[in-house]
Every structure is written in structure tokens, then in C-alpha cells.
Structure 1
Amino acid sequence: MDPFQQMHDWKNNLDNFFGGNFWNDFEHILKPPIPAINVYELDNEIIIYVNLPGVKDSKQVKIYLDENVLELKGELFPVHQGGKQLQQEILQGDFSRKIELPSVVRKDKVTAILRHGLMKIQLYKSNSTRKRMKQVDYDIEE
């Protein structure tokens, strides 16, 4: 029997026992969210660092900003090497990640720079509560 099928059956049994989707709250433990981020809050700013290995073109990752949510969509490209893969820790594939911000930010004053696979997004806090999502463009530094 396929070991992944056994794991799937086990997960379904726990969902049935506890009701609903019991494992949804633990999914981030089993598979960490991608891309990996660090978020810092300063007095008037929020700085977000995003790990984007292999991204070299601004068309590969889209950034959307709502009043207090930053959304990232794109793809992290797989690392291929000849031979049999023995271990995989570098996450890859399509992603869509929403980041709850600690406060409302200005949509008219956002900077994003990608350098060597690490994106820095700088947001400025706002008192405004307008609700329109905006796509953010960014530069790539070599």
C-alpha cells in the first residue's frame, strides 16, 4: 500500500473524529508557507523581507496591497541537478501568500526591491481606511 495513502486515510479519520478540517490549523507545521518572510514594524513603517530564490524578472512575482494585507503571487523555480534527489528543503512551485499587516498602510508610498533572491518591501503606515487593492511594481538590482 502507498504510504501517502495511509497518511491521507489517517488524516481523514482524525478530521472525521474531531469534525471539520482538523489538520488545516497544523498545515503550516507540516509544510511551511512559501515564500518565507520576515516582518518588522517600526514607528512609521513596516518592512517585509521575502525569500525568492531563482526570481530574476519582475513578471515572476506579483505584489498586491490592500489596506492591511499584502498578497504575493508567483512561482519559485525548482533547482534541478542530475542524479537522484536525496533531500529537499528548498521549497518550490506556485504560491499565493497573504500577509496580515499590523496596521493600515499607504498605497501611494510603497517600495519593493529584489536583490539576489531577497525582496525588501517597505510600507508606510497610514490613518486612511480606503479599500482598494493595488498592484506594486518593483525593481531588480544586480
Structure 2
Amino acid sequence: MDSWSKMMEWKQLADKYMNQSFFPNFEDQNKAAGPHINLYESEHELLCVASLPGLKNMDDVEVYVYQNAVKLIGNTSFHIKGMSIRQNEIYQGRFEREISLPYSVREDPIDAYYRKGLLCIRLYRLLTDERKKKKVEIKNEDE
């Protein structure tokens, strides 16, 4: 048995003894983070990619872009009919996530699209940043 398996066995015993999770803050912090994000950068362009599996309605997610940040607000959920969850690692539920950008971005153009469980937001570098938040429309490319 490797050391990770031993630690998980010990954690299960501690959970049972305490009648609650032994690492509640660690687990809650991981779940509260919401969707996982990758941020890609080129000289004048950023691509923000959020993992949002099972999103059926684009209105379930709002994207706001302002100065040097992107804010995602939404709700994701999916259920398998006739089954209950045994292990839950794919984030589900309400989320609010703000991503800091390495530089300010333009208000136009901003392209957002959803494909194969990923929300992609393409942004372009701004030379000046005297503007307000802009809500971004998401196109569903799975349909």
C-alpha cells in the first residue's frame, strides 16, 4: 500500500471518528472555486477558457469584462436519471469567479463561444481603459 492510500485510509477513520470531514476547509475551498480556468496569452490577445460541462442554456452563465478582469457568474448542474452521486469531482452549483488579466482589454471586439463543455472568451489588448463593464453574449456552437 502506498503512502497516499495509507493517508486516505487514515482520513476515512478520522472522518468516521469525528462524524464529519477531517479536512472541511480544504474540501470546501476546492468546491467553492467554481469552474477551472486556463488563460492563454499572445502579444495582443488573451483566450480565457472555462470548464463548464453540461451547460445547456447560455443564459445560465453571465460573462462580464472590465479593465483587466473577467467575471463569470452562473449555475451548472447535471443529473443522471435513476442514479445518485457516489463521487463528486466535477463542479456543480452556483459560482462566481473573477479572473485577473495581465493587462487591460478592449470592450470591442470580445468573442465568447461554448463548445464541447468549454466556454472560450477571446479578448484583445487595450491601449487605454476608461470604460465600464460590458456583458458578453455567449454563442452555443454545439447546436
Spell out the pairing of 1:11-26 with structure 2 (5 A cutoff). Answer: none
RMSD: 2.3
Percent identical pairs in the alignment equals 33
The separation in 2 between residues aligned to 1:91 and 1:111, in whole angstroms, is 24
Aligned length in residues: 125
Is the contact between residue 65 and residue 107 of structure 2 (CA under 8 Å) also seen in structure 1?
A: yes
Q: What is the CA distance between 1:120 and its match in structure 2?
A: 1.2
Q: What is the CA distance between 1:56 and its match in structure 2?
A: 2.0
Is the contact between residue 56 and residue 117 of structure 1 (CA under 8 Å) also seen in structure 2?
A: no
1:141 maps to 2:141: yes
Distance 1:84 1:113, change over 3 A: closer
**SS of residue in 2 equivalent to 1:47:** strand
After TM superposition, where is structure 1 displaced by more than 2 Å over at least 4 residues in a row? 78-86
More strand by share: 1
Is the contact between residue 78 and residue 93 of structure 1 (CA under 8 Å) also seen in structure 2?
A: no
TM-score normalised over the length of structure 2: 0.76
**SS of residue in 1 equivalent to 2:108:** strand
Tell me what 1:76 maps to.
76
Amino acid at match of 1:85: I
**SS of residue in 2 equivalent to 1:48:** strand
The separation in 2 between residues aligned to 1:112 and 1:80, in whole angstroms, is 28
**SS of residue in 2 equivalent to 1:31:** helix
The separation in 2 between residues aligned to 1:58 and 1:85, in whole angstroms, is 25
Amino acid at match of 2:58: S
The separation in 2 between residues aligned to 1:105 and 1:7, in whole angstroms, is 39
TM-score normalised over the length of structure 1: 0.77
Q: What is the CA distance between 1:76 and its match in structure 2?
A: 1.0
The separation in 1 between residues aligned to 2:135 and 2:123, in whole angstroms, is 13
The separation in 2 between residues aligned to 1:3 and 1:106, in whole angstroms, is 48
Is the contact between residue 54 and residue 76 of structure 2 (CA under 8 Å) also seen in structure 1?
A: yes
Q: What stretches of structure 1 of length at least 5 have no aligned partner? A: 12-22
1:3 maps to 2:20: yes
